[in-house]
């Protein structure tokens, strides 16, 4: 893949192009998040891993675009957009909403038999076959939704109290929550790649058993890691999280 062309790609951001890397790590954001979550990851990962951060519509430089609320449409589009990068093995990482997207993208990649899917990392999201306890969150009032965001502890309080910024942010978070809340798992073949599930010990919404249940979705190896922190442990625990990723990818 020509990384010069990738620099202007509407869907893919490469924080640090590594044309000689052996593997690409595709990273998907949590609800309301954008590709900049992963901006500094390459600095802490082996030079043999190239990070591809997905830029979803409705946020960042794509804030003028309509966010997607139908998962099938998003997966079909993502599959098309990452095809040029399948000349090397791919691993997928997703946190919270991103884990759901990463799983369905992994299934689509496997079914297309394009490229080599080496590993799936699912972070802070219950195994997809489990019942989803919270639905309809995108229909909450603004105040109820702000309360929900405060409970998760992932949204800056200054942002929550800034009326103009919240006016821009609310449509994105509502679209992302609709994407999650309307998701319906469809049984299928086990993935032919290892799965690593990662969670936060203080996460009040996703528990260890919810993460351990991911093991039924792979015909290969499975690992579970519980880190310190709440639902958004990936920020304070970034160093340990990236060591886990690098260790798992080193086994490929």
Cite the active site residues: 96
What is the arrangement of strands in the sheet containing 12-13, beginning at the earlier edge strand? 12-13, 49-54, 23-28, 90-95, 117-123, 194-200, 222-227
Contact between 212 and 218 (Cβ < 8 Å): no
DSSP bridge partners of 195: 120, 222
Residue 186 to residue 104: CA distance in whole angstroms: 10
Q: Which of 172, 146, 177 is nearest to 161 (CA)?
A: 146
CA distances from 48 to 43, 84, 93, 99, 171 (A): 12, 19, 16, 23, 38
Taking every pair of Cα atoms in the chain, the longest distance, rounded to a whole number of angstroms, is 49
Residue 58 to residue 55: CA distance in whole angstroms: 9
């Amino acid at each position: 893949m020509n990384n010069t062309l990738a620099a202007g790609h509407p869907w893919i951001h490469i924080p640090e192009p590594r044309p000689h890397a052996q593997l690409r790590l595709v990273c998907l954001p949590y609800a309301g998040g954008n590709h900049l979550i992963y901006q500094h990851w390459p600095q802490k990962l082996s030079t043999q891993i190239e990070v591809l951060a997905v830029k979803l519509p409705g946020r960042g430089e794509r804030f003028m675009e309509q966010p997607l609320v139908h998962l099938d449409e998003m997966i079909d589009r993502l599959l098309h957009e990452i095809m040029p990068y399948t000349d090397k093995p791919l691993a997928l990482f997703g946190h919270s909403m991103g884990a759901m997207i990463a799983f369905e993208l992994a299934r689509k990649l496997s079914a297309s038999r394009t490229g080599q899917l080496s590993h799936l990392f699912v972070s802070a999201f219950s195994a997809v076959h489990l019942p989803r306890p919270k639905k309809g969150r995108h229909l909450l009032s603004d105040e109820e939704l702000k309360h929900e965001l405060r409970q998760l502890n992932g949204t800056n309080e200054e942002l929550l109290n800034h009326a103009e910024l919240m006016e821009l942010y609310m449509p994105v978070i509502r679209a992302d929550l609709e994407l999650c809340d309307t998701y319906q798992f469809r049984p299928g073949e086990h993935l032919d790649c290892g799965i690593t599930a990662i969670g936060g010990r203080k996460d009040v919404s996703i528990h260890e058993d919810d993460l351990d249940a991911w093991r039924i979705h792979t015909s290969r190896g499975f690992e579970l890691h519980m880190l310190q922190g709440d639902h958004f442990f990936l920020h304070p625990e970034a160093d340990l999280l990236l060591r886990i990723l690098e260790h798992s990818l080193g086994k490929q």
